[in-house]
Chains A and B, each alone.
Chain A
Amino acid sequence: MRARKNALAAALPATALLSVLFILPILFVAVSGFKQDGTKFYVKFFSDPYYRDILITTVLTALRVTFFALLLGYPTAYFIARSTSKYKNVFLIMTVFPFLVSAIVRAYGWQVLLGDTGVLNQILLGIGLVKKPVKILYTMTGVTIGLVHLLIPYMILSIAGVIQNIPRNLEAAAESLGANRLTVWRKVILPLSLPGVITGCILVFSVSMTAFVTPRLLGGARIKLMSTMIYQEVNAAFNWPMAAAISFILLGTILFFLLAANLATANAMNRLGGGKRA
């Protein structure tokens, strides 16, 4: 019983902090919103194509970012996890470092690189590959590049952590039984690294759904996503009830995808654990 009292006492400060500054404000905003306007703004959101399209664009953007982060991140993760080079630590630092650099600084770097008078366009114009500057900044491409850059360390680290724990001699064993590299990868490495892939995808997807700084700085006013929309409704349209509705719809969408991913994962893990297909 004393142990239990100690545990409660230790948990108290964090519980108090989160209750007062986190749970209470959320409940207050959700409840007062419903009391004042009912579901009016939620109905408007889903019936107005202007808002509905923003939700669809946001989900598609997050999926696109996740896809590219996985495509580029998986080989990199494998490389770093299996590296025996003395430079392994250098690569590890290069993976973690961007993660510690401010998102604003990184977005600014992309502005300098991708702008109309940016470094990339200077090079392309200089060697005569294009006649007028390629428009990347303030387009969806620019936002995608920025978000993949922002989030790819999550993907690499999630996958590398798992691959690092797969014993190397599993690969050797499969090869000695006659499997070629592709088969080894498909039947041994891929299934065993799947948990890392799933964690990485979920992380990248949910963070890119809500990223605010990167789309704001690289998308400009024309690219409308849920996160930038909330800010715009507050600061430009002064429509707070709509901003509240968008905020909670964004939260709901993410929870929905998390739940779906969880169910799908449990399913996949069951099958892999069943041993018949793995």
Chain B
Amino acid sequence: MPEKQDGIGFKIIALAVYAFMAAPIVIVVLASFSPTSFLAFPPKGLSLKWYYNIFDDNGFVSGFFNSMFLASVATAIDVMIAIPAAIAVTKYHFPGKTALTNFFTSPMFLPTVTFGFVLLQAFSAVRGVPTFYRLLAGHLIIILPYIFRNVVSVMIGFNWTLEEAAQSLGARPLQTFRRVTLPLIKPGIMAGGLLAFLYSLDDATVSAFISDHRFVTLPIRMMTYMEFSFDPTLAAISTVLIALSLGAIVLMERFVGLNIFLK
């Protein structure tokens, strides 16, 4: 009996917290279908006009594709860099291993605003780097730790003698990696890659310092739009992004399992 009681107390708080966590997300989705320019409560009908508005010439579409492109390139490059880095610190033993691991995760500990400003200053000293490559440089750094850490977390439990077994059966090193190692560490790569991709897609801090009119990402476009208008075009584009996150979490639950978040 007493167990039930404390269960109920915590349950009420937990349900309230879940309502709190869902509230702004639900409200954005509702606002995107509102026929009025602000969300009236109770709503006065249903409209898709804000979704059509996205395609007006207001920079949202180009921003979306710019962001998708930037996030894809940054994630692809970092996955290829983070996998060997994770192998280095899990497969081998050498002095300074912990220091190296910390070094690879160090961008997480530098405030993103500080890094944004540092890059701005560095790129004003090294002139002539196109905006896209400046953004790419920034994103490569801020998302690397996410991929690295997730790959390391699956590699820690990895039985490296499997590689030796494959090689003793005549597999070449690259073949061993592709056929034995890679499939086993795939959940970590998927989880890290998805998180990193979403982080890059969402970044408005580093980008705020180094992006300019030549390459505007979606978050930057949204932030500048918000300074002048609250209209539900933002809600419509936000709902598209929410749908994208929903897709990501379905992928993650399918292929990785959400328990990685409880480690």
> Are A18 and B104 CB-contacts (below 8 A) given A97-B246, A102-B241?
yes
Segment with Cβ contacts to A, from B54-62, B113-121, B164-172, B182-190? B113-121
In-complex Cβ contact of B141 among A18, A96, A102, A161 (8 A): A18
**Among B17, B245, B263, residue most surrounded by chain A Cβ atoms (within 10 Å):** B17
Contact at B11–A79, with CB atoms within 8 Å? yes
Q: Does A192 contact B (CB under 8 A)?
A: no
CB neighbours (8 Å) of B100 from chain A are 11, 15
- A14 / chain B contacts, CB cutoff of 8 Å: 81-82, 84-85, 104, 144, 148
The proximity string for B residues 116-154 relative to A, scoring 1 for CB distances below 8 Å and 0 otherwise, is: 011111100100000000000110110010001000000
Known: A213-B204, A231-B113. 10 other contacts (CB 8 A): A7-B94, A28-B121, A29-B117, A72-B16, A78-B10, A157-B262, A206-B109, A227-B111, A250-B113, A251-B114
Let me know if A234 and B117 touch, CB within 8 A.
yes
Chain B: residues with CB nearer than 8 A to chain A?
2-3, 5-7, 9-11, 13-14, 16-18, 20-25, 27-28, 31, 38-41, 80-82, 84-85, 87-89, 91-92, 94, 100, 103-104, 106-107, 109-115, 117-122, 125, 137-138, 140-141, 144, 148, 195, 198, 201-202, 204-205, 208-209, 219, 222-223, 226, 230, 234-235, 238, 241-242, 245-246, 248-249, 252-253, 258, 261-263
Verify B2–A109 contact, CB threshold 8 A.
no
Alpha-carbon distance between A122 and B27 when the two chains are bound, in angstroms: 14
- A-B pairs with CB below 8 Å: how many? 259
Q: Which residues of B contact A264 (CB under 8 A)?
A: none
* A interface residues, Cβ below 8 angstroms from B: 3-4, 6-15, 17-18, 21-22, 24-26, 28-29, 32, 72-73, 75-76, 78-82, 89, 91-98, 100-106, 108-113, 115, 117-119, 122-123, 126, 149, 152-153, 156-157, 160-161, 164, 180-181, 185, 206, 209-210, 212-213, 216-217, 226-227, 230-231, 234, 240, 243-244, 247-248, 250-251, 254-255, 258
Within 8 Å CB of B201, what residues of A? 102
Q: Are the CB atoms of A160 and B3 closer together than 8 Å?
A: no
A24 to B103, CA, bound (A): 14
Assuming the contacts A92-B261, A244-B117, A250-B111, asked whether A112 and B25 have C-beta atoms less than 8 A apart, the reply is: no
Structural contact, B41 and A6, CB atoms closer than 8 A: no
Contacts of A97 in B (CB 8 A): 25, 245-246, 249
| CB-defined A-B contacts under 8 Å, sample of 5 | A7-B94, A29-B122, A109-B24, A247-B113, A250-B111
Pick the 4 closest A-B CB pairs, nearest first: A109-B24, A210-B111, A7-B92, A14-B85
What's the Cα separation between A79 and B27 when bound, in Å?
Answer: 25
Query: Taking the nearest CB of chain A, how far is it from the CB of B220, in angstroms?
Result: 9
Within the complex, which residue of B25, B110, B120 is in contact with A251, where a contact is CB–CB below 8 Å?
B110
A265 to B39, CA, bound (A): 47
B262 with A104: CB separation less than 8 A: no
Which residue of chain A has its CB nearest to the CB of B6? A181
Shortest CB–CB separation between residue A213 and chain B, in angstroms? 5
